[in-house]
Amino acid sequence: MTALNYPLSNAQLELLKLFSRNLPEEDLIEIKQMIVNYLAEKLAQKTDEIWEEKGWTNKDMERFLNAHMRTPYKT
């Protein structure tokens, strides 16, 4: 067994405690989905905050969607 060269985060430690026993595959899939849903909700909340802070409108969103913001290739 190799030693870790970096410390585990508090979330990783909690998950290790939680998963110290075997779970059915269906439970693992459901837990993964719950984590994804949680993170997606946090992201949506943060983007809503930024949206309000910047005073953006649906017109701004259309402009963002149609903008070409790629870094140009060097020739």
pLDDT in tens, 21-41: 888 999 989 999 999 999 999
| Residues 18, 35: Cα–Cα separation, whole Å | 14
Give the confidence band of 3 by pLDDT, cuts at 50, 70, 90. Answer: low
Residue range 46-69, pLDDT digits in tens: 999 999 999 999 999 899 888 887
- By the 10 Å C-beta count (0-12 exposed, 13-18 middle, 19+ buried), 31 is classed as middle
Among 7, 6, 11, residue whose Cα is nearest residue 42: 11
| Residues 51, 3: Cα–Cα separation, whole Å | 44
Structure tokens at 1: 């067994």
pTM greater than 0.95: no
